[in-house]
């Protein structure tokens, strides 16, 4: 049976389901037990699952991820919460030089998930609003997931926890309490690497993920009133990429707009654009276009933050321009 829940509630239920279903699953994070987490996502978990499985840690991200890696190698399935995903940079060495390379170096799997609130839209400034996806895309051995829907927040977190490799799971905090959707807790886990077609069309393809997906869908609806039918592909996973789905939509429409919340320079859109240009050149009727955040730290002021991120109007303008190419 399905019911309407928030994005945050979907993440919470996925964690609870995993704790109930698999005794190897443990949660580690700052203030996640007694306080219930910065966003109250794990509120009640300490009483429900006990201090051996919901563990408050010191404010030391390097030690937190290091402990999770050791626990994962010892047979557990640790899920690490970054209070804000921005602070994952403190654990960069643990993730890239150790966790990501263990399987390659000596066949040792590291089944950990590092999850946390990501992105802007809540006017939290540069220390609490980053999208860190591109930072880890150049590290073989790490998987990166960015769910955009309530159902995916649930099913893809289950899939990440089941995955034998380290997964970085980016939750868009702007969606935590604003996005509601149907959730069927009986749905199967979704492993990283599978995109989802959210809208069909033949005028051009919009490729996006995370919170930007919803702005893309809204812009596509507005464009439809002008006779422009956009196909919208939700990547859901940035590493691995669902290249088959990307190439299929490019072949269908011949024009591509990539929209993401991370900065333009060095963002995931650049890699996707390069893959399309290299493998789908003969299918293209126009240059691949990217629309992303400005290359600035995310401002505190609401007006400046809004100006730094792609808006629905910006996406609609790009749709018009690209279809007229």
CATH number where 258 lies: 3.40.50.920
For residue 47, the domain's CATH number is 3.40.50.970
CA-wise closest residue to 183 among 149, 151, 147: 151
CA gap 316, 50 in Å, rounded: 49
Provide the edge-to-edge strand list for the sheet that holds 256-263.
196-199, 230-234, 204-208, 256-263, 289-293
Q: How confident is the model at residue 2 (pLDDT cuts 50, 70, 90)?
A: confident
**Look-up of token digits 């399935």:** 77
Which residue among 152, 184, 216 closes a domain? 184
Q: How confident is the model at residue 281 (pLDDT cuts 50, 70, 90)?
A: very high
pLDDT of residue 1: 72
Element (H, E) at 104: helix 102-106
3-state DSSP call for residue 246? helix
Same domain, 175 and 205: no
What is the total count of domains within the chain?
2
Q: Are 292 and 264 within 8 A, CB to CB?
A: yes
220 and 171, same domain (yes or no): no
The beta strand positions in 94-248, using DSSP E, are 113-118, 143-145, 167-172, 180-184, 196-199, 204-208, 230-234, 237-239
Q: What is the average pLDDT across 16-44?
A: 98
Is 106 a member of any domain?
Answer: yes
Same domain, 149 and 55: yes
Q: Are residues 173 and 266 in the same domain?
A: no
Domain boundary among 149, 184, 219: 184
In a domain, 20, yes or no: yes
Which position among 103, 123, 128, 279 bears the catalytic label? 128
pLDDT computed for residue 156 by the predictor: 98
CB neighbour burial string for 174-203, b if at least 16 within 10 angstroms, e if fewer: bbbeebebebebeeebbbbbebbebbebeb
Average pLDDT (12-33) is 98
Instruction: Name the burial class of residue 112, with classes exposed (0-12), middle (13-18) and buried (19+) by CB atoms within 10 angstroms of its CB.
Output: buried
Residue 294 lies in a domain: yes
**How far is residue 273's CA from residue 18's CA, in Å, rounded to a whole number?**
36
Choose among 163, 231, 141, 224: nearest CA to 195: 231
Could you tell me the pLDDT band of residue 267, with boundaries at 50, 70 and 90? Answer: very high
Choose one of 153, 184, 215: the last residue of a domain. Answer: 184
Q: Per-residue pLDDT averaged across 8-36, rounded? A: 98
Q: What value does the mean pLDDT of the chain take?
A: 97
b/e sequence 76-87, b meaning 16+ C-beta within 10 Å: bbbbbbbbbbbb
Rounded CA separation 224/216 (Å):
12
3 state SS of 27: strand
Q: Are residues 221 and 262 in the same domain?
A: yes
SS3 276: helix
Say what the pLDDT of residue 166 is.
98
Q: What is the pLDDT of residues 166-177, one digit of tens each?
A: 999 999 999 999
- Cα(68)–Cα(178) distance, rounded to whole angstroms? 31
Same domain for 178 and 251: no
On whether residue 269 sits in a domain, the answer given is yes
CB 148 within 8 A of CB 181: no
Respond yes or no: is residue 252 known to be catalytic. no
Asked whether residue 151 falls in the same domain as residue 202, the answer is no
Are residues 143 and 245 both part of a single domain?
no
Task: Give a yes or no: residue 64 inside a domain.
Answer: yes
Distance from C-alpha of 19 to C-alpha of 31, rounded to nearest angstrom: 18
Same domain, 144 and 216: no
179 and 206 together in one domain: no
Per-residue pLDDT band at 78 (split at 50, 70, 90)? very high
Residue 189 lies in a domain: no
> Does 191 fall in a domain?
no
* CB contact set of 231 (below 8 Å; sequence gap of 6+): 197, 199, 200, 201, 202, 204, 205, 206, 249, 252, 253
Mean pLDDT of 303-316: 97
Domain span including residue 94: 2-184
Helix (H) or strand (E) holding 293: strand 289-293
Q: Are residues 161 and 104 in the same domain?
A: yes
Residue 291 bridge partners (DSSP): 259
Identify whether residues 176 and 262 lie together within a single domain: no
Quick check: is 190 in a domain?
no
- For residues 304 and 297, is the Cβ–Cβ distance under 8 A? no
């Amino acid at each position: 049976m399905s019911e309407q829940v928030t994005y945050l509630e979907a993440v919470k239920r996925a964690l609870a389901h995993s704790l109930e279903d698999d005794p190897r699953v443990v949660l580690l994070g700052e203030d996640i037990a007694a306080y219930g987490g910065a966003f109250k996502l794990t509120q009640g978990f300490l009483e429900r699952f006990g201090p051996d499985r919901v563990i408050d840690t010191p404010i030391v991200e390097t030690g937190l991820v290091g402990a999770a890696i050791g626990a994962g190698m010892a047979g557990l399935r640790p899920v690490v919460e970054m209070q804000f995903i921005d602070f994952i940079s403190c654990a960069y060495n643990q993730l890239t030089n150790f966790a990501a390379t263990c399987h390659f170096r000596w066949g040792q799997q590291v089944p950990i998930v590092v999850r946390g609130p990501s992105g802007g839209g809540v006017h939290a400034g540069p220390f609490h609003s980053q999208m860190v996806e591109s930072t880890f895309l150049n590290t073989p051995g790490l998987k990166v997931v960015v769910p955009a829907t309530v159902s995916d927040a649930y099913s893809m977190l289950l899939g990440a926890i089941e995955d034998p490799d380290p997964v970085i799971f980016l939750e868009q905090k702007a969606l935590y309490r604003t996005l509601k959707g149907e959730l069927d807790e009986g749905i199967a886990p979704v492993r990283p690497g599978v995109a989802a077609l959210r809208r069909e069309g033949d005028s051009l393809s919009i490729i996006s993920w995370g919170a930007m997906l919803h702005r893309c869908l809204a812009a596509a609806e507005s464009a439809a009133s002008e006779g422009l039918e956009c196909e919208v592909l939700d990547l859901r996973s940035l590493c691995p990429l669902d290249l088959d789905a990307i190439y299929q939509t490019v072949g269908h429409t011949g024009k591509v707009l990539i929209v993401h919340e991370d900065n333009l320079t060095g963002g995931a859109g650049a890699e996707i654009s390069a893959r399309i240009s290299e493998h789908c050149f003969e299918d293209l009727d126009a240059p691949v276009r990217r629309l992303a955040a400005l290359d600035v730290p995310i401002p505190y002021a609401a007006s400046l933050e809004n100006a730094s991120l792609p808006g629905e109007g910006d996406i609609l303008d790009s749709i018009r321009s690209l279809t007229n190419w």
